[in-house]
Protein backbone atom coordinates (compact mmCIF):
# COMPACT_ATOMS: atom_id res chain seq x y z
CA UNK A 1 0.00 0.00 0.00
CA UNK A 2 1.25 3.47 -0.80
CA UNK A 3 0.27 6.90 0.35
CA UNK A 4 -2.33 8.30 -1.99
CA UNK A 5 -1.67 11.61 -3.66
CA UNK A 6 -4.61 13.76 -2.74
CA UNK A 7 -4.87 15.68 -5.99
CA UNK A 8 -4.65 12.52 -8.14
CA UNK A 9 -6.40 9.97 -5.94
CA UNK A 10 -9.15 11.92 -4.15
CA UNK A 11 -11.70 9.09 -4.29
CA UNK A 12 -9.23 6.56 -2.86
CA UNK A 13 -8.31 8.96 -0.04
CA UNK A 14 -11.98 9.55 0.75
CA UNK A 15 -12.69 5.80 0.74
CA UNK A 16 -9.75 5.16 3.05
CA UNK A 17 -10.84 7.94 5.43
CA UNK A 18 -14.39 6.63 5.54
CA UNK A 19 -13.07 3.28 6.79
CA UNK A 20 -10.10 4.27 8.96
CA UNK A 21 -9.84 6.37 12.11
CA UNK A 22 -6.32 7.68 11.51
CA UNK A 23 -5.09 10.13 8.90
CA UNK A 24 -1.36 10.60 8.33
CA UNK A 25 -0.69 13.37 5.83
CA UNK A 26 2.58 14.65 4.48
CA UNK A 27 2.07 18.30 3.55
CA UNK A 28 4.67 19.13 0.95
CA UNK A 29 5.45 21.03 -2.23
CA UNK A 30 6.36 19.62 -5.62
CA UNK A 31 9.40 21.88 -5.87
CA UNK A 32 10.82 20.66 -2.52
CA UNK A 33 13.73 18.28 -3.18
CA UNK A 34 13.62 17.01 0.41
CA UNK A 35 9.96 16.05 -0.01
CA UNK A 36 10.64 14.35 -3.32
CA UNK A 37 13.42 12.29 -1.74
CA UNK A 38 11.19 11.43 1.25
CA UNK A 39 8.25 10.23 -0.82
CA UNK A 40 9.25 6.60 -1.38
CA UNK A 41 10.15 6.11 2.31
CA UNK A 42 6.77 7.63 3.29
CA UNK A 43 5.06 5.16 0.95
CA UNK A 44 6.96 2.26 2.54
CA UNK A 45 5.86 3.46 5.98
CA UNK A 46 2.25 3.51 4.77
CA UNK A 47 2.59 -0.20 3.97
CA UNK A 48 3.57 -0.84 7.60
CA UNK A 49 0.38 0.83 8.87
CA UNK A 50 -2.48 -0.55 6.75
CA UNK A 51 -5.01 0.49 9.39
CA UNK A 52 -4.26 4.18 8.71
CA UNK A 53 -4.93 6.43 5.74
CA UNK A 54 -1.70 7.92 4.42
CA UNK A 55 -1.91 10.79 1.97
CA UNK A 56 0.54 13.08 0.24
CA UNK A 57 -0.81 16.61 -0.16
CA UNK A 58 0.87 19.28 -2.26
CA UNK A 59 0.07 22.50 -0.43
CA UNK A 60 0.06 24.51 -3.64
CA UNK A 61 -2.21 22.18 -5.62
CA UNK A 62 -4.53 21.79 -2.60
CA UNK A 63 -4.10 25.19 -0.95
CA UNK A 64 -7.80 25.26 0.00
CA UNK A 65 -7.21 22.35 2.41
CA UNK A 66 -4.40 23.99 4.35
CA UNK A 67 -5.14 27.70 4.10
CA UNK A 68 -6.09 27.87 7.80
CA UNK A 69 -2.72 26.60 8.99
CA UNK A 70 0.72 28.03 8.47
CA UNK A 71 3.22 25.74 6.81
CA UNK A 72 6.71 27.16 6.91
CA UNK A 73 8.95 24.11 6.44
CA UNK A 74 8.88 20.74 4.74
CA UNK A 75 7.99 18.06 5.25
CA UNK A 76 5.17 19.00 7.59
CA UNK A 77 3.32 16.01 9.01
CA UNK A 78 -0.27 15.95 10.21
CA UNK A 79 -1.56 13.02 12.25
CA UNK A 80 -5.24 13.07 13.03
CA UNK A 81 -7.45 10.60 14.90
CA UNK A 82 -11.03 11.04 13.76
CA UNK A 83 -11.41 14.85 14.01
CA UNK A 84 -8.71 15.40 16.63
CA UNK A 85 -5.37 16.71 15.41
CA UNK A 86 -2.83 14.69 17.39
CA UNK A 87 0.29 16.10 15.73
CA UNK A 88 1.00 18.90 13.29
CA UNK A 89 4.55 19.94 12.69
CA UNK A 90 7.72 19.81 10.70
CA UNK A 91 9.69 16.59 11.02
CA UNK A 92 13.00 15.46 9.71
CA UNK A 93 12.46 13.23 6.69
CA UNK A 94 13.09 10.16 8.85
CA UNK A 95 10.40 7.51 8.69
CA UNK A 96 11.72 5.75 11.80
CA UNK A 97 10.95 8.89 13.80
CA UNK A 98 7.49 9.13 12.23
CA UNK A 99 6.89 5.41 12.79
CA UNK A 100 7.68 5.79 16.52
CA UNK A 101 5.39 8.82 16.76
CA UNK A 102 2.51 6.99 15.06
CA UNK A 103 2.92 3.99 17.37
CA UNK A 104 3.09 6.24 20.41
CA UNK A 105 -0.10 8.08 19.45
CA UNK A 106 -1.82 4.80 18.63
CA UNK A 107 -0.94 3.47 22.09
CA UNK A 108 -2.00 6.74 23.75
CA UNK A 109 -5.49 6.78 22.23
CA UNK A 110 -6.17 3.36 23.77
CA UNK A 111 -5.87 4.79 27.29
CA UNK A 112 -7.52 8.19 26.84
CA UNK A 113 -7.71 11.37 24.79
CA UNK A 114 -4.52 12.43 23.06
CA UNK A 115 -2.85 15.47 24.54
CA UNK A 116 -1.11 17.56 21.93
CA UNK A 117 2.42 18.63 22.65
CA UNK A 118 3.07 22.35 23.08
CA UNK A 119 5.73 21.89 20.40
CA UNK A 120 3.09 21.20 17.76
CA UNK A 121 2.02 23.87 15.35
CA UNK A 122 -1.35 25.32 16.12
CA UNK A 123 -4.39 24.52 14.07
CA UNK A 124 -7.73 26.25 14.58
CA UNK A 125 -9.81 24.33 17.11
CA UNK A 126 -12.54 23.42 14.62
CA UNK A 127 -10.18 22.71 11.70
CA UNK A 128 -10.17 19.11 10.45
CA UNK A 129 -8.22 18.06 7.38
CA UNK A 130 -10.16 14.81 7.47
CA UNK A 131 -13.50 16.61 7.13
CA UNK A 132 -12.17 18.93 4.42
CA UNK A 133 -11.08 15.91 2.37
CA UNK A 134 -14.30 13.98 2.95
CA UNK A 135 -16.50 16.89 1.88
CA UNK A 136 -14.58 17.80 -1.24
pLDDT digits (tens, 9 = 90+) for 14-50: 999 999 999 999 999 989 999 999 999 999 999 999 9
Give the phi and the psi of residue 52 in degrees, each rounded to 5: -125, 150
User: Any idea what DSSP says for residue 94?
Assistant: -
Residue 57 parent element (H or E):
strand 52-58
For the entire predicted model, the pTM comes to: 0.89
3-state SS assignment for residue 53: strand
pLDDT digits (tens, 9 = 90+) for 41-94: 999 999 999 999 999 999 998 888 998 888 889 999 999 999 888 899 999 999
Residue 126 has pLDDT above 70, yes or no: yes
CA distance 124 to 105: 20
Residue 3 has pLDDT above 70, yes or no: no
CA distance 74 to 121: 13
Residue 123 has pLDDT above 80, yes or no: no
What structural domains does the chain harbor?
4-134 (3.40.30.10)
pLDDT more than 90, % of the chain: 57
Amino acid sequence: MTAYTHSDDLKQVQTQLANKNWLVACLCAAWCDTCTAYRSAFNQLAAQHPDKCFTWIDIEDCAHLVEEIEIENFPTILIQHLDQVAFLGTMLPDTMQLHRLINSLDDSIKIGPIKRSALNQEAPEDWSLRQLILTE
